[in-house]
Structure 1
Amino acid sequence: MNNFFNRNARKTMIIVFTSMLIISTWFILPYYLKRAIIHQHPGIYDYEIFPNRTIEINSPQPWPVSSLYGIPIFSDEQKDSVELMKTTAFLVISNDSLVFEYYAEDEDKTNISNSFSVAKSIVGLLIGAAIDDGYIKNLHLPIEELLPDYTNLHGHGLTLEHLLTMSSGTDWDEAYSSAFSITTKAYYGNDLNALMHRISVTDSPGSSFNYRSGDTQLLATILTRKTGMTVSQYASKKLWQPVGAETPGLWSLDREYGMEKAYCCFNSNARDFARIGQLILNNGNWNGKQIIPEKYIQKSITPASHLTDRDGNPVDFYGYQWWIMQYNGEKIPYARGILGQYIFIVPSINTIIVRLGHERSDIRIGEHPIDAFTWLKTGIDLHKQIYSR
């Protein structure tokens, strides 16, 4: 009997000790790591767990609805892909009018969600606006002038254009699966400014492409310093209001009243994201008003071919924070996010295609996720159902 009680006592002590150890360890974990453990994986509704700043609207301009709206439908194969990849929204704008839209169950046209790295393309456009406004003199300004307190970046010839083309040569580690990567710290942490000051230049800027969220975050810091506005305020003034967005956007912050997570976390809906695509299609013009300089738009969607990719080949897939793919002989500029957020621009048929959802394929063709081709083809097929009649 004594042995029985002794064994139970030992088990109890082990459980108590283990529990105390776990609790003690939890309290000493960094803030970002606690949040990463709690939330596990980024999701499209993460604006609900972060503080946000509103991108205000003014004088909304609803999309004209085509008289042919409702005619195109998904094929059975397309519907299977849409459901399998947990698509939440799919929209097609052709000839400046809404011709098709789909929303998953429990979703509608006003629901907002995270665009993830589509936000990078938006930041890229804001740099063009800031140059046009005279806040930034040119693309070749050195980092020493733009960010004088970021001394870890000084002395290597780093310029604004290097940040735009993802060729900064910094030591930012774009790892999504590691709990200890700087990308995870940036997403779940609460002090982006301190984190960004730790980045150093380790390779020669302007020589090779290497996708880094940190490059975009530095661009956002430059915007804030030069314009005297938050990124959200400047986005509202220079993009969201001029293009007539119907729903206020949300940009997630690192902490209350803090810094926008500019590389990832712009939240909106398919109808309003389509306006960004239309702006590119129109070479920066909206209803007769030049919002972003045409030359800057063209540079944004022209591959930075002076750079080399990881295999030593000229870059043919990225410009100023915008991706470029070849499809049936046509250059297709597009923005994309890690969970399958896409804005495609198809100039030959005057069409914008937006796809939002929870999943993206891990399989790639070159630098492009294979599902990008699926959604692009789907949108073009829907267009053809109307205009090939």
Structure 2
Amino acid sequence: MIFRRRRVLSLLAQAVGFACATALFGVVPVSANAESGAFACTEPAGDQGYQRAEPADLGLDPTALADALSFGARKGGFAIQVYRHGCLTADYAPDNALAAVLPTPLASSSKGVASVAVGRAITLGKFGLDDPLRTFFPQADERHGALTVRQVLNQTTGLEFSWGTDIAAITTDEVAEALHRPFAYEPGSTFQYSQSVLELLPRIVEISTGQDFQDFVQEQVMAPLGIPRDHWIWLRDRHGDTAVHGGLAMRPADFARLGQLMLQRGVWRGQRLIDDSYIRQAAEPTAANGGYGFLFWLNAGDSYKTATVPMAKVFPHNMFPGSPRDMYSFVGALGQFSVVVPSLDMVIVRTGIPGSIDLTNTQTSLAAESNPDNKELLRRITRAVTDVPAVPDDDPYRYDDSFGPLIGSPADLAAWADPTAIAAVLLGYGPGSVPDCTLISCDGRPLTADLAAQLSDTLRQVTLAALAANR
């Protein structure tokens, strides 16, 4: 819905008009955009909703913005929200819709939230970006112990990766498995879209802070942003570690607060939550991937390496054609986004599913960062801005970004399911196996006990979230 309120502003008394707007709507003029009459809203207090403002008051073309949201709704969006200068100005999901009040599974956008939590811990002085893993895991061998927090965040550990091995690791102890996994590349040289290796991050936070990762996230990130604990669900793996690679579900408006925090360089209501240096580095590409930072996908590079399965591919263009190059995003499968656009002072949230699936190019349809419909939605929204010069236009549909078949060669099959590596994880046999940890029993705990604890924790969180949604 595009919000259409009449501004009571006298052309002969702008100051009086602005004062009325402040009193009635809780907004104040933006000094940088005062000539255009733009407004800025303060961050929500507690868990109150965002202040709202007319698109035209925020330097947006109302018709173009409405058309963009209509396009997004046709392309599978459950909730689409646009924020500019801290104000909510467009919202496809009404406040009482299920899409607005139920936590939405964010898939790999969970990774970006984990990055925010790591940034908070670093800001608190608990550890540093370039601390070696041996600092936290003295049991690691020399080569694994020399890996850094930075290399885990930007997915350049060089550890051997296959989807089958990563999925198998979820059923044992992902941290121990990562510390025993063989190397395939020189650390820092190659991007691989790993999953289970990222479980090192919540364990590092726990070791450094003495808190459970989820307790830390609520106390140090969510609560300062006004997000109650019963607004989000974060699953755990078999070992009890938080599934940062894809287990988080949040309400869209809360997801937007995380994007707004990044947009505001880590400051919320005057409190510094994340150091500006971390925010800057999180949104910078690496030599290994022009489209990836600290678990965020970026529009900065002239090329980007995808999350293609079973093996990543490089596409020779920026990720979001026709959108500002400083755009970056939390990104999750099927199209879960919280997009940050610093040059436009804008946050865009989109949750949902693909509007259609191209059976000849299934992966491109399902992978959020490469689906051209998602790119086009962002292009249309950002081009609705009228008070900042537009970037050169580009058509996301003109690129032939085909991921190819899921299994197109024997090499693809091996990348999906390396039987030797999977046996090492599940059966504890062979190179890379973890002592005293198999599918049946890990660290003396039988599978049944771990699954019971996992189920109990999940049901507790789901129940709390359902009760909160009902309220």
1:330 counterpart SS class: coil
Matched, 1:205 2:172: no
Paired residues of 2:80 and 2:348 also in contact (CA < 8 A): yes
Instruction: Within 5 Å, give how 1:150-161 maps onto structure 2.
Output: 150-151=140-141, 154=144, 157-161=146-150
| Matching residue of 2:263 | 281
Q: Secondary structure at the match of 1:154?
A: helix
Letter paired with 1:303: P
Larger relative CO (CA 8 A, sep 6+): 1 or 2?
1
Deviation at 1:76, TM superposition (A): 6.4
Q: CA RMSD in A?
A: 3.3
Give the letter for the 2:332 counterpart.
G
Q: Which residue of 2 aligns with 1:376?
A: 378
After the TM superposition, which residues 252-331 of structure 1 pair with which residues of structure 2 at under 5 Å, given as runs? 252-255=235-238, 258-304=240-286, 307-308=287-288, 315-326=289-300, 327-328=322-323, 330-331=325-326
Aligned length: 310
Q: Secondary structure at the match of 2:92?
A: strand
| Secondary structure at the counterpart of residue 120 of structure 1 | helix
2:215 alignment partner AA: Q
- 2:404 alignment counterpart: none
Alpha-carbon separation, structure 2, partners of 1:119 and 1:61 = 23
Gapped runs of 5+ residues in structure 1? 1-57, 176-180, 309-314
Structure 1 position 231, deviation (Å)? 1.8
Give the match for residue 109 of structure 1. Answer: 100
Q: Contact between 1:303 and 1:316, CA under 8 Å: does it hold in 2?
A: yes
CA–CA distance in 1 between the matches of 2:274 and 2:63?
A: 33
Rounded to whole Å, the distance in 1 between the matches of 2:98 and 2:172 is: 30
Shift of 1:89: 0.9
C-alpha contact 2:106 2:246 (8 A) present in aligned 1: yes
Structure 2 contact 71–377 (Cα < 8 Å) conserved: no
Indicate conservation of the 8 Å contact 2:72/2:80, yes or no: no
Cα deviation for residue 106 of structure 1 reads: 6.1
Change (3 A) 1:198 1:328: same
One of 92, 96, 112 as aligned partner of 2:86: 96
Written as runs of structure 1 = structure 2, the 5 A alignment for 1:20-39 is none
CA distance in 1 between partners of 2:70 and 2:180 (Å): 46
Q: TM-score, normalised by structure 2?
A: 0.59
- Map 1:43-82; keep pairs closer than 5 Å: 59-68=46-55, 79=70, 82=73
Corresponding position of 2:121: 130
Letter in 1 for 2:47: P
Aligned partners of 1:245 and 1:272 also within 8 Å = yes
What is the Cα deviation at residue 141 of structure 1? 1.5
Task: Report SS of the residue matched to 2:182.
Answer: coil
- Partner residue, 1:34: none
Equivalent position to 1:343, from 338, 363, 366: 338
Q: C-alpha offsets along residues 188-239 of structure 1, whole Å, 9 cap, x if unaligned?
A: x365455545533332111122221233221122112211212211111121
Amino acid in the other structure paired with 1:182: T
Identity of aligned residues (%): 23
Residue 380 of structure 1 and its aligned partner are, at CA, apart by: 2.2
Distance 2:68 2:280 in 1: 35
- One-letter code aligned to 1:325: N
Work out whether residues 225 and 268 of structure 2, in 8 Å CA contact, stay in contact via their aligned partners in 1: yes
Q: State the alpha-carbon separation in 1 of the partners of residues 68 and 337 from structure 2.
A: 20
Contact 1:167–1:207 under 8 Å retained in 2: yes
Deviates more, 1:280-289 or 1:69-78: 69-78
Distance 2:339 2:240 in 1: 31
Alpha-carbon distance, 1:262 to partner? 1.1
Q: Does 1:172 align with 2:161?
A: yes
With over 3 angstroms needed to count, the CA separation of the structure-2 counterparts of 1:298 and 1:74, relative to structure 1, is: closer
